[in-house]
Structure 1
Amino acid sequence: MKRLLILIVLAALAWSGYWAFGAWQLRQSEAQWFEERRGEGWQAEYADLAVRGFPYRFDTTLTDVALADPATGLAWQAPRFQLLRLSYRPNHLIALWPGEQVLATPERRFVVRSDDMRASLIPRPGAARALERATLVAETMQIVPERGGAWALARLNLAAERTPAAEATYRVGLSLDGLAPPEPPQRLPQTLDALRLDATVAFTAPWDAAAIAEARPQPVRIELDAAEAVWGRLVLRAAGRLDVGASGLPEGRIEIRAENWRAILDLARESGALPDGLADNLESGLALLARLSGNPETLDVPLDFTNGRVQLGPIPLGPAPRIVIP
């Protein structure tokens, strides 16, 4: 009995030492990361950094966090941010965001509110902080820009997983439920019925710790397996492949299927996404294509990206957008 008690005491002391050393290492690592960013000219600040959770977890809590990258103009602020780890599996991270945070781009500033926003991050075995798979979920989100109305979202679900055959290729799935634009047209429901995306994306490098601190990996190939948006009577589906050059210009084709396409075009015209002149020309050309397909209300047409230009069927739309992650 005495030996057993001694073993228990020794085991408890050993575990306490392991936890204390691990907590110290985490504090040093996180503080060093912020110091390195400041050395690169970032704004990288926090009011307090604490590691708690003894004996089974390492819970890192940062308060009054502010990050700003001068190279991209992106900035983020939050009153609190947490990274949770099990002490016996410290490489599996759970990230928790607060109920309100601020995200700024060079063009606009947004307040993001949510009831529950969290992510699970699992690194690849044998690769320091290289992402193997990740999920991000958020409940009851509201995105409020400094100008204009707020976007609301009942649930966000984003998942990414590295494909076994490639070092920097990821299968990505996105689901948005209950997405409500600021001022939906009166003839449509207040929220979209469905917004889904399933794609495989190859990047210039794996996503790891350097992706935040140094340079974001850029997409080089996007295989859009399926994308769907359903809003009342409006249904839009897409699939295809794009190769993205070093400048961010895509080359390839996306096959588009649009049901009740005239209403979709009217919506783009009313929202200002398409100028009236271009929308009128599109309607004339697309009406001919729809009649040739046999169903004037359903449109099957390719969206082609070639030589820096984009074209919908035979109708040129203008310069292609650059696909660049800032």
Structure 2
Amino acid sequence: MRWLLGIVIVATVLWFGYWFAATTAIRNGVDGFLADQRASGTLIETRDVSVQGFPYRFDLTLDGLKLKDPVSGAGYEGEKLQVSAMAWKPWHILAALPPDQVLTVAGQEIELTGTELMASLRARPALDLPLEELRLGGQAIGLSSSAGWQSGASNLLLALRQAETGPADYALALSAGGVKIDPAFGARLAAVALPNQPPPGMPDEAGPLRANILLHFTAPLDRNYAAVQPRFTGLDIGELHLEWGALVIEATGKLAADAEGYAAGEVKLTVTNWDRLPPVLVALGLVKPEVAPTIGNMMKALAGQTGDPELLQLPLKLADGQMSLGPFPLGPAPLLMPRS
């Protein structure tokens, strides 16, 4: 039995040594990252950095984290960010996000609140640590922007997984319920009055929202991301489904970057109870009120071709740098890749 006891003691000493060595490496890595970011000009602050979880976990906690890129203006503020991994599989990282945080995006500050805000990052145990799955989710999510808009959702789950179609393909799945409509937009929509059409009477929440989309990149998403900088080249929409009151919008199709980098392809849109759509387009500022009745009449004529007067099917076509929805021109197509 002495040999068995000796093996247990040696294994315990080795495990303890591994944990403390890994903890030191994590702390040094975080300190080095913070120093590198400050040296590159990024404004970054934190009150305290700690690593705990002995002996089975690595629990990294950053208190009072604030960071901001002086070039793009993008930034983040959170009171307590906790990142954890089990000691025997450090390639699977879990993050518990604070219930109140501030994101700075496109020149506006967005306050994000919620409960059970979690993130999960799992890589394959390989030298390049290729991304296997990324998950984000939460409950009672609220968004409030300094630009004046508000939104949120009662529940949200976003997942990105490596697809079987190729090493640089990733399957994006989105599910949300109780999507809150911005009150200011709701007021604009309620004020829309079109001839021979009752007020839209849309609810202040939408959902469910579902999406299953295959994304294509130029290279896999792994630890070499910063050096390789994979670019997004196109997508295949398997399912896109949104319900907002009686209005139901669904989409399927494919888009890819053309020779000039613009999105090209076709997406089939199916709209149930399409007569709610013209007021929405007016409230969004996409259509002038005096033009909306004409567009409504054209939609009615197109819906008459489907055999169901409440059902409208339109192709969203993108070609030669331009977009059109059925017979309606929409303007320039989005740029997916830098122009060659």
- Mapped partners of 2:130, 2:72: distance in 1: 22
Deviations 1:33-79 (A, max 9, x none): 22222233222332221110001000111111122234433211111
What is the 5 A alignment of 1:18-29? Answer: 18-29=18-29
- Find the partner of 2:234 among 217, 221, 231: 221
**Which residue in 2 is equivalent to 1:80?**
80
**Which residue in 1 is equivalent to 2:214?**
200
What is the 5 A alignment of 1:106-185? Answer: 106-183=106-183, 184=186
**Shift, 1:321, TM fit:** 3.1
Q: Which range moved further: 198-207 or 290-299?
A: 290-299
- Mapped partners of 1:176, 1:316: distance in 2: 30
Q: Percent identity?
A: 29
**Shift, 1:231, TM fit:** 1.2
What is the 5 A alignment of 1:35-114? Answer: 35-114=35-114
Amino acid paired to 2:85: R
TM-score (norm 2): 0.87
Contact 2:268 2:316 in 1 (8 A): yes
Amino acid paired to 1:86: M
- Find the partner of 2:280 among 256, 260, 267: 267
Q: Which range moved further: 314-323 or 112-121?
A: 314-323
- Mapped partners of 1:281, 1:6: distance in 2: 86
Deviations 1:151-209 (A, max 9, x none): 12111111111123422110110011111112246622332131110010001232235
**Shift, 1:128, TM fit:** 2.6
Is residue 258 of structure 1 aligned with residue 271 of structure 2? yes
5+ residue gaps in structure 1?
A: none
**Which residue in 2 is equivalent to 1:285?**
298
The 1:120–1:16 alpha-carbon spacing in structure 2 relative to 1, beyond 3 Å, is same
Contact 2:91 2:125 in 1 (8 A): no
Secondary structure at 2:324 match in 1: strand
The 1:145–1:216 alpha-carbon spacing in structure 2 relative to 1, beyond 3 Å, is farther
- Mapped partners of 1:44, 1:248: distance in 2: 35
Deviations 1:91-114 (A, max 9, x none): 110011101111012331100001
- Mapped partners of 2:70, 2:92: distance in 1: 30
The 1:224–1:71 alpha-carbon spacing in structure 2 relative to 1, beyond 3 Å, is farther
**Which residue in 1 is equivalent to 2:317?**
304
Amino acid paired to 2:236: E
5+ residue gaps in structure 2?
A: 191-200
- Mapped partners of 2:284, 2:170: distance in 1: 33
Contact 1:172 1:200 in 2 (8 A): yes
Contact 2:23 2:51 in 1 (8 A): yes
